[in-house]
Structure 1
Amino acid sequence: MAASASRKELLGKVHKMVPPMLESFHKGQLGRVAVIGGSEDYTGAPYFSAMASAKLGCDMSHVICEPAAGAVIKTYSPNLMVHPYMRQSKNLSKSSSESEASIADAVKSMLPRLHVIVIGPGLGRDPLMQDTCASVISAAREQNIPFVLDADGLYLAQTRPELVQGCRECVLTPNVVEFGRLAKAKGVDVSEGNPEDLCAKLSRAFGGVLIIQKGAKDLISDGETTLVSDGEGGRKRSGGQGDTLTGSIATLLAYRKAYLDKLWDHGGELGKEETLRLAAFGGSAVTRECSRLAYKEKGRALQASDLTEHVHQAFLNVIGEKDESRL
């Protein structure tokens, strides 16, 4: 069923979930996020995702990528922590002790240090990169770490749906084409019907996995409750804007953990499932506002990098900062 709450009411709840900036907090409490992706051909996507996470207030933003991508991403910003642990099949060392298992173990060794992971930006379809991420997803589920799948991360959900089946700490972010591929993989007919109902139908087919179907309106559903994010966005559909979405969602999921762990005295009663939906809704609202602001400034010249510079202002516009004088 579609939620009856208004956009203002939903964003008000997201605001409640966002931690205040208290002097008592220490480094890392307000978010430790890693983006897993980045290959020889694709270095921008993981950067945009990780920087959106950082600009939204995440304390520590990591990128776990292929060495060739890592060398490039390090030149984009010194603020990101870049770990060249991933390997494409052709770059797997034959003369050392490096193996498929050791690569996966290196990535998984970081999981206890993280609150949220994003899998997919710039990942590509290389079998070893895909297999490594499959192993990471299984480990994240075992450790109850929320994860967001986008781009080639969604290819894993399409080809190995058992990896995400029934996971209530997973967010899928397909565009219209990717949505169709996921539906086909699950044998779900999405050719006719109300879009909100179809999004919920696909979510139920995946056992209640949260799905954000990106489009003119973003539809967010866990199979039971469906939210519609219809804030104004920009009119330029440049590639890479979805990376701002994944990074924004990741930071809000980290804030969700702080809220559920009662890191500060908020007296709230928002539950796990509702806060998961709210993190997705908030990420969508911030990204759409980023796109609106960037398009207003750049027009048809807008590029994905322009959204990055507007993340904080978009957050202030749609969610708002805490009034710390009241705390």
Structure 2
Amino acid sequence: MALSLTPKTREVLFQVRKIIPPLLEKFHKGQMGRVAVIGGCEDYTGAPFFSANASALLGADLSHIICEPTAASVIKTYSPNLMVHPYMLQSNHLPPNSLETADSLSGRIIGMLDRLHVIVVGPGLGRDELMLETAGIVIAAARERGMGIIIDADGLLLISKSPGLIKHYKNAILTPNIVEFSRLCKALNVDTTSPTACTALARELGGVTVLQKGKVDIISNGTSTLTCDVPGGLKRSGGQGDTLTGCLATFLAWKKAYVENLWDVEGGKIGEEELIRLVAFAGSAVTRRCSYLAFAEKGRSLQASDLQGFIQRAFGELFEDGEGGAKL
């Protein structure tokens, strides 16, 4: 199962190595990534777990899930490594005569933001209006703080209704599948049949990075575009995109550490626009390689949970060898 990569892909992966932090004794807990996944309702508990767990398995120091209380009680049984906060609330779970609103619910979450580097919004969020409104307020608060933001799943439904939440914010990545991409394009009057639809959508969003998932993943900020063609598996089981959002979150947190010069980097510094594209490409590459390795073992029985066990192997094959150098 040796890697078969195009020269362009090898070149981009080599660039990604520059933003991957070394493991140094001087680092302390939290510097290499504090991530929170906002999602998880009574119907969907797996998605936020896979996302947060992938972030932790790739190398984030601290991984949180902020979800609905009924989801929290379930997710806490999945792993003791994740911190689970039952701060969201669904409309149908409001007590009689409750004074809770999206503003009041979001306040507790916003209070956490200064302790985080990156938020992922959408995995298992559902379509309850109170949950979506709360998530929208948190996105706006995270944007004000300049945080990294990744939006997927029903978080993208929120963006299709209110694109202004994320428009012109260049520290964000959207990860639509084919249905979500079509919905976003319709909302922003972009022709989905165009071969440059991803570029056009990113341009209409004011330079937000869009990672269009498909046979190959197309990554664009509206002015420059990359294609991640790292081979993936052939089974399309639901939930594989949650591993992607978790991996993206960790790489986005590492980008922050890189910008803050937490370690000595050889050569010239990479510009902000290029960094976001490298983050998106890296998350895509690791997830696609995970899918390939899991499919090679599981075949048609592959499930979303199978990708999680291959995260470190995929990362090592793409970015490291036994001495910490590139296997490219």
Farther off after superposition, 5-14 or 68-77: 5-14
Change in 2 beyond 3 A, CA 1:102/1:6? same
Q: Partners of 1:164 and 1:322 in 2: how far apart?
A: 41
Letter in 1 for 2:178: V
Change in 2 beyond 3 A, CA 1:202/1:97? closer
Deviation at 1:98, TM superposition (A): 4.0
Match of 2:14 in 1: 12
Percent identity among equivalent residues? 56
User: Do the aligned partners of 1:238 and 1:302 also contact (CA within 8 Å) in 2?
Assistant: yes
Structure 1 unmatched ranges of 5 or more: none
Match of 2:298 in 1: 298
Match of 1:54 in 2: 56
Deviation at 1:190, TM superposition (A): 1.9
RMSD: 1.6
After superposition, the C-alpha distances for 1:19-65 in whole angstroms (9 at most, x for unaligned) are 00101000000000000000000000000000100000000000000
Q: Partners of 2:223 and 2:104 in 1: how far apart?
A: 40
Structure 2 unmatched ranges of 5 or more: 1-5
Using the size of structure 2 for normalisation, the TM-score is 0.94
- Does residue 214 (structure 1) correspond to residue 213 (structure 2)? The answer is yes
Q: Partners of 2:320 and 2:220 in 1: how far apart?
A: 24
User: Do the aligned partners of 1:282 and 1:319 also contact (CA within 8 Å) in 2?
Assistant: no
Match of 1:30 in 2: 32
Deviation at 1:97, TM superposition (A): 5.8
Using the size of structure 1 for normalisation, the TM-score is 0.95
Match of 2:307 in 1: 307
Match of 2:261 in 1: 262
User: Do the aligned partners of 2:103 and 2:137 also contact (CA within 8 Å) in 1?
Assistant: no
Change in 2 beyond 3 A, CA 1:324/1:310? closer
Q: How many residues align?
A: 319
User: Do the aligned partners of 1:147 and 1:171 also contact (CA within 8 Å) in 2?
Assistant: yes
Letter in 2 for 1:229: C
Letter in 1 for 2:197: L
Match of 1:252 in 2: 251
Change in 2 beyond 3 A, CA 1:132/1:322? farther
TM alignment of 1:125-144, pairs within 5 A? 125-144=127-146
User: Do the aligned partners of 1:92 and 1:99 also contact (CA within 8 Å) in 2?
Assistant: no
Change in 2 beyond 3 A, CA 1:230/1:209? same
Q: Partners of 1:111 and 1:323 in 2: how far apart?
A: 36
Deviation at 1:92, TM superposition (A): 2.2
Aligned partner of residue 77 in structure 2, secondary structure? helix
User: Do the aligned partners of 2:102 and 2:131 also contact (CA within 8 Å) in 1?
Assistant: no
Match of 1:110 in 2: 112
Match of 2:168 in 1: 166
Aligned partner of residue 148 in structure 1, secondary structure? strand
